[in-house]
């Protein structure tokens, strides 16, 4: 039982490049979330999904897109990376009425 797995763990991008972050959970959780964490800013919600095939915007969605084609996977895309997107990205999931299970994070640097 792996829980929530994020790939990659580290990535350096050049400004304007694109990439996709993958989040996979094996707990059959309905709800999945993408957060970014910056120093002094806490955890800010980017996008979330309340079930397979659904997505919704969070607090800071600009510059990101998401897809949830399969229940177990939640993908976060950056179409044209900017230095302001340098951050640590966390994926989380929950069955609904309990705490979130977080992945170990992706550390992204945009130069």
Partner 1 sequence: GQQVMQIPQYQHVQEGEDFTTYCNSSTTLSNIQWYKQRPGGHPVFLIQLVKSGEVKKQKRLTFQFGEAKKNSSLHITATQTTDVGTYFCAGNSGGSNYKLTFGKGTLLTVNP
Binding site for partner 1 (CB under 8 A): 31, 33, 35, 40-45, 48, 50, 56, 58-59, 90, 92, 94, 96-105
CB of 59 to partner 1, least distance (A): 8
5: CB partners within 8 A, 6+ apart:
23, 24, 25, 26, 103
Nearer to partner 1, 31 or 73 (CB): 31
Q: Is 5 exposed, middle or buried (0-12, 13-18, 19+ CB in 10 A)?
A: middle
Nearer to partner 1, 17 or 45 (CB): 45
DSSP-assigned letter for residue 60: S
Helix ranges, 22-63 (H): none
CB of 80 to partner 1, least distance (A): 27
CB of 44 to partner 1, least distance (A): 8
CB of 4 to partner 1, least distance (A): 9
Residue 58: name the closest of 45, 49, 44 by CA. 45
């Amino acid at each position: 039982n792996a829980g929530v797995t994020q790939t990659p763990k580290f990535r350096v991008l050049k400004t304007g490049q694109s990439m996709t972050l993958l989040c996979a959970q094996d707990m059959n959780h309905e709800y999945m979330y993408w957060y970014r964490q910056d120093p002094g800013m806490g955890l800010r919600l980017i996008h979330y999904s309340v079930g397979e095939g659904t997505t919704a915007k969070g607090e800071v969605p600009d510059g990101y897109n998401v897809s949830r084609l399969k229940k177990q996977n939640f993908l976060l895309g950056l179409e044209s990376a900017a230095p302001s997107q340098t951050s640590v990205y966390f994926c989380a999931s929950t069955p609904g009425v309990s705490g979130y299970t977080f992945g170990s994070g992706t550390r992204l640097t945009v130069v």
